Structure 1
Amino acid sequence: MASSSPATGLGPSVPRVVDERVTKKVALAALVGTALEWYDFFLFTTAAALVFNAQYFVSADPFVAAMSSFATLAVGFVARPIGGFIFGALGDKVGRKKILMITIVGIGVVTGLIGLLPNYMTIGVAAPIILVALRILQGLAVGGEWSGAVIIAVENAPVAKRARYAALPQIGSPIGTILSSGGFFGMLYLVGQTNFDAWGWRIPFIAAIPLLAVSMWIRSRLSESPEFEALMESGETEHAPIRGVLTKSWRQILVGGCSALLGIGGFYLITSFVVFYGTKVLKMPYETLLLGSLLAAVFEIFVLIWAGRMGEKYGASKVILWGGIASAAVAVPVFLAIDTANPVLVILAMIVGVCTLSIPYAVSGTALTSLFATKVRYTGVAITSNSAGVISGFVPLIATALVAASGNSFWPGAIILLVVSVLTALSGIFLPALSIEEEGMKH
């Protein structure tokens, strides 16, 4: 029987010598997969704000149509924990690589089908029903994707550099945003508003199919986690990972979920909700809001790289704490700037809002993987991250409802961002006591 490893907290020992060429290849494959994941997911998010309310949820009241559209967005997040349970448990039983191949196929195929789905005017009530069903399937696949990608990157990395490599899959988020917002922005520019609303929005969804082929080829070259292989060889894999995590690690789930809340929920608030608020309430052009999302994502890449290095140097919990504080500090100024409807100020506000909330997001993979032993890590991270995702999925819906109730005021958005930022900052205080590994993998 293998001995317990100080590197993983609980579980068999793994080789201490790590080939960083393999580490970089695995991290790249994880990054490509998460980029496709977020591209597909953000396409739906942006489309929910721009076109789904008119294509699938027909109503004379734009707020009712928008809330129906955002409710469909939220359904995908409700499905994510179920996918987390299913794929997380399988990932702890049969391996990280096999599950990551399944989830990436599920996400890409469903996204392509959404692009081909007839609208309400063509097939009636069947259109929104099918859209919801596809969104559920997408949510199930996403529920196992991000957690598996982060875990396989972390478990293939040197312990001292795990924060650095755990930040790489996070870059898939801004890349997905750039591709999705850029796709919509490009189609608007090429075909015009009328054609975009009629059919142009479908092209970025259909483009997910060739992107899937590239992702599958890259991901097929992944190396399985050496920590999981050691578990398999020693026969120490967990037979009931879900039960073990829920009964023994509920504190980790609670605190870890709060640590991930800002990076997910705050992001959807600054992108999806702001796109709706800007176009419907402030009467700004689509292009301006999409450009804001696009530029914010470009700046986010550099923030994620920098914050990942800070996590390596100072520890993930400190980065989460101070990132949450920074986001709380700019919450009201960001929405004050957005409410001016000045294009320059709105774009700057979106950039500042996304960059500050991305500081804790950069190290959330490091923080979550350090909370769970290797044999239940996939299950634990999937349940935790997707629990935060459920709450996050309702953020645009809640913000839209509160804005309507407040007479189109921007204050609900600012207050929600402030509350979420404070919750994430507080989690940074409690994370070190719950981690089974050296906190944040710092030197």
Structure 2
Amino acid sequence: MTTTQAPTPPSAALSAAQARRVAVAALAGTAMEWYDYYLFGLAAALVFNRLYFTTLDPQAAALAAFATFGVGFVARPLGAILFGTLGDRIGRRPTLVLSVVLIGTATALIGLLPDFASIGIAAPVLLVLLRLVQGVAVGGEWSGAMTIAVEHAPARLRNRLAALVQLSSPIATLLSSGAFSLVLLLPAADFDAWGWRVPFLAAIPMLLVAVWLRRRIEESPAFVELVGSGRRARIPVLQVISRAPGRLGIAILVSLLGVGGFYFMNTFLVNFGSGARGLDRQLMVNATLIAAVVQVGVTLLSGRLAERFGPGRVTLWGGLATAAVAFPVFWLVDSRQPVAAVLAVCLGLAAVILAYGVAGPALTMLFPSELRYSGVSLGYNLAAVIGGFLPLLAQASLGWSGNASWGPALLFAVFGLATALGGALAHRIIEPASNAVDPGDSPEPGER
């Protein structure tokens, strides 16, 4: 492993209030990108299996839709390489503007895409291609927004402001699930004909707002310092792999639950409850809305806990909590009771978010500033390659578990334990760096 330092502190001229404004701007742009990305997950569970894979039986169509959903995660490491290189070479700010334009355009085009009945096999092919574009864009989005927010933040506020950026996830969930909840009120024929497209087309005005916000973000002090010192890496991705392979592995473990567990709850469990267990699909979508409100509180709590105990330790707790609730979550859904199903989604997502809420500082503090965008992007998005297929693996597990819920519950628990391990390892590395920072934001070790 390579030696590293905690994120370079901002200059004295940058006040806590300014750092908060940067974090809020990063939050708003990332919420728009996650909105676009989450829409696809909901549509995969509720629409694409019926309108784009119509020649398959229901089980095969569900598998195909979830496979298409997972394709976006395969593309995310490509986005991590592309945007990580750009972010560490030309700057965090212009890279973030490019990523939001790319995903907003792809999402709007999905809303205009004809279905299988209209253009045949071209429909699912184009759907996969647009999902790939989404994946490439998201490959550099979260990592860039988190990097620029943390690099602006005074050390004493780093965990809190990083958790603020993480609110983009529940906000996007509320917007995407809320949009689908509204269009599901339409008659079934209207929903299939045009209603499901409306949330995707809403990406157009949201894109304009996001670009305006991103252009107002200041470049991070850490990157400005890199340019002045001439320390920018020529090929940062290769240097992450050669200089910090162990830290990259830890970053993958830390990210695994936040990426996979979130989509497991908001995509697979929605399909499982409304399909295999016969619950109303409107109820399951509404459950994700209620869980998103819970997510806001847990995200803020995780940031405060990280201030006291460190982000690595809180990640460990979140992973263990997920493993503990994995089977109870499915027992609640198996009961086929509406209140129990809503509680299951809230309980499972709360455990996941306890770990995910502090992923930002946990990852950024693993890598030095010249490799930070690339290191965070690679770790987070390599985890996404595995985690993005968790809904598909869970759907397949129903086959070898005889449609019993212990199959997907076991997978959920394994992901939790993997991230718990990552949190424990991360704590051993980043805690000394955190303790070395005084409340006055003096230079970090290696920067003196």
Bin of the TM-score, shorter chain as denominator length: over 0.9
Encode CA deviations 1:179-201: one digit per residue, 9 max, x unaligned.
Answer: 11100001112x22331122210
Encode CA deviations 1:33-63: one digit per residue, 9 max, x unaligned.
Answer: 1111110111000100100001111134211
**Local SS of the residue matching 2:351:** helix
Task: Look up the match of 1:326.
Answer: 321
Query: Which of 357, 368, 383 is the equivalent residue of 1:362?
Result: 357
Task: Look up the match of 1:116.
Answer: 112
Deviation (angstroms), 1:5: 10
Task: Look up the match of 1:254.
Answer: 249
Encode CA deviations 1:331-371: one digit per residue, 9 max, x unaligned.
Answer: 11111001111110000110011011100101000000001
Deviation (angstroms), 1:6: 6.3
Matched, 1:232 2:222: no
Deviation (angstroms), 1:284: 1.6
Residue type at the aligned position of 1:398: L
Query: Aligned partners of 1:195 and 1:236: how far apart in 2?
Result: 57
Deviation (angstroms), 1:21: 2.0
Residue type at the aligned position of 2:165: P
Q: CA RMSD in A?
A: 1.8
Query: Aligned partners of 2:273 and 2:283: how far apart in 1?
Result: 9
Encode CA deviations 1:347-398: one digit per residue, 9 max, x unaligned.
Answer: 0110011011100101000000001000010000000000111111110001
Contact 1:26 1:222 in 2 (8 A): yes
Matched, 1:88 2:88: no
Residue type at the aligned position of 1:32: A
Task: Look up the match of 1:391.
Answer: 386
Query: Which of 37, 49, 56 is the equivalent residue of 2:45?
Result: 49
Pair 199,404 (structure 1): closer, same or farther in 2 beyond 3 Å: farther
Deviation (angstroms), 1:432: 2.9
Residue type at the aligned position of 1:243: L
Task: Look up the match of 1:337.
Answer: 332
Task: Look up the match of 1:152.
Answer: 148
Equivalent residue pairs, number: 436
Residue type at the aligned position of 1:216: V
Residue type at the aligned position of 1:102: L
Encode CA deviations 1:56-85: one digit per residue, 9 max, x unaligned.
Answer: 111342110011111111110000000000
Query: Aligned partners of 1:352 and 1:288: how far apart in 2?
Result: 16
Matched, 1:286 2:281: yes
Query: Which of 429, 433, 438 is the equivalent residue of 1:438?
Result: 433
Deviation (angstroms), 1:17: 5.4
Pair 60,95 (structure 1): closer, same or farther in 2 beyond 3 Å: closer
Pair 207,8 (structure 1): closer, same or farther in 2 beyond 3 Å: closer
Deviation (angstroms), 1:436: 8.8
Matched, 1:415 2:410: yes
Deviation (angstroms), 1:25: 1.1
Deviation (angstroms), 1:220: 1.2
**Local SS of the residue matching 1:435:** helix
Query: Aligned partners of 1:96 and 1:249: how far apart in 2?
Result: 21
Query: Aligned partners of 1:257 and 1:7: how far apart in 2?
Result: 19
Task: Look up the match of 2:180.
Answer: 184
Identity of aligned residues (%): 45
Task: Look up the match of 1:374.
Answer: 369
Contact 2:10 2:154 in 1 (8 A): no
**Local SS of the residue matching 1:166:** helix
Matched, 1:405 2:400: yes
Output the TM-score relative to the length of structure 1. Answer: 0.95
Query: Aligned partners of 1:43 and 1:198: how far apart in 2?
Result: 17
Query: Aligned partners of 2:111 and 2:6: how far apart in 1?
Result: 45
Task: Look up the match of 1:307.
Answer: 302
Contact 2:4 2:366 in 1 (8 A): no
Task: Look up the match of 1:212.
Answer: 207
Encode CA deviations 1:399-432: one digit per residue, 9 max, x unaligned.
Answer: 1011133221111121011101111111121113
Residue type at the aligned position of 2:215: S
Contact 1:265 1:392 in 2 (8 A): yes
Output the TM-score relative to the length of structure 2. Answer: 0.94
Task: Look up the match of 2:57.
Answer: 61
Contact 1:311 1:442 in 2 (8 A): no
Task: Look up the match of 1:201.
Answer: 196
Residue type at the aligned position of 1:345: A
Deviation (angstroms), 1:437: 6.8
**Local SS of the residue matching 2:171:** helix
